[in-house]
């Protein structure tokens, strides 16, 4: 029996990064409450590799490994800083390279950080439609944090932390921790019969 794989993606291209800190906090809480294994992809590291590939055709080497990790995860925590009212270009480029069939029914936690509360609905207006296109199962509770919610790149705001506990419950409900398979969804390898 294998543990479900939870993959966090930080769309920030900066270091240090509040978005990466947010992703790590969410993953820590998921690991605390469920028997899962978690990993993080930071686009600050991965973007130069991924931008070397402009199309999914002939994807190879390190870029292919990153893309396959995203496709194969049982649960995604997809987070981006708001850049110009939307996700970062690096974040979108990653999802331009993936096999869209790999996301059917896959549970996804949507999260973002921004400089202003005015862009707090970026999760609804930008992230949810992107994952809707992929037929992913985006969880109802979304996470948005502004710069003031962090101290020394650690999430400190009590309201955001409480909201994270809610989405962690929603996420764990989607994982069958007994078999290690997502409880509601066919996984990619089943969908395309590979």
Ligand X SMILES: Cc1cc2nc3c(=O)[nH]c(=O)nc-3n(C[C@H](O)[C@H](O)[C@H](O)COP(=O)(O)O)c2cc1C
Residue 115 engages ligand X in binding (rule: CB under 6 A): yes
Show contacts with ligand X in window 12-31 (CB under 6 A): 12, 14, 17-19
Residue 116 engages ligand X in binding (rule: CB under 6 A): yes
Residue 165 engages ligand X in binding (rule: CB under 6 A): no
Residue 147 engages ligand X in binding (rule: CB under 6 A): yes
Show contacts with ligand X in window 38-77 (CB under 6 A): none
Burial class of residue 70 in the structure, from the number of CB atoms within 10 Å of its CB (0-12 exposed, 13-18 middle, 19+ buried): buried
* Of 4, 8, 107, 114, the one binding ligand X by CB under 6 A: 114
Residue 95 engages ligand X in binding (rule: CB under 6 A): no
Q: Smallest gap, in angstroms, from Cβ of residue 83 to ligand X? A: 4
Residue 84 engages ligand X in binding (rule: CB under 6 A): yes
Residue 141 engages ligand X in binding (rule: CB under 6 A): no
Q: Smallest gap, in angstroms, from Cβ of residue 44 to ligand X? A: 8
Site residues (CB under 6 A) for ligand X?
Answer: 12, 14, 17-19, 81-85, 113-116, 119, 147
């Amino acid at each position: 029996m294998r543990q479900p794989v939870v993959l966090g993606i930080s769309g920030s291209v900066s270091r240090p990064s509040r978005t990466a800190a947010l992703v790590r906090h969410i993953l820590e809480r998921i690991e605390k409450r469920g028997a899962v294994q978690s990993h993080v992809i930071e686009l600050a590291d991965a973007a130069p590799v991924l931008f070397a590939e402009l199309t999914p055709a002939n994807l190879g080497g390190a870029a292919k490994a990153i893309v396959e990790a995203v496709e194969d995860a049982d649960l995604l925590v997809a987070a981006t800083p708001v850049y110009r009212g939307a996700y970062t270009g690096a974040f979108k480029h990653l999802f331009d390279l993936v096999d869209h069939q790999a996301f059917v029914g896959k549970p996804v936690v949507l999260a973002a950080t921004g400089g202003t509360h005015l862009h707090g609905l970026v999760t609804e207006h930008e992230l949810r439609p992107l994952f809707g296109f992929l037929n992913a199962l985006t969880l109802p509770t979304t996470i948005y944090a502004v710069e003031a919610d962090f101290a020394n790149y650690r999430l400190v705001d009590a309201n955001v932390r409480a909201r994270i506990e809610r989405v962690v419950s929603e996420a764990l409900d989607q994982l069958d921790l007994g078999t290690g398979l997502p409880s509601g969804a066919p996984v990619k390898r089943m969908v395309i019969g590979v």
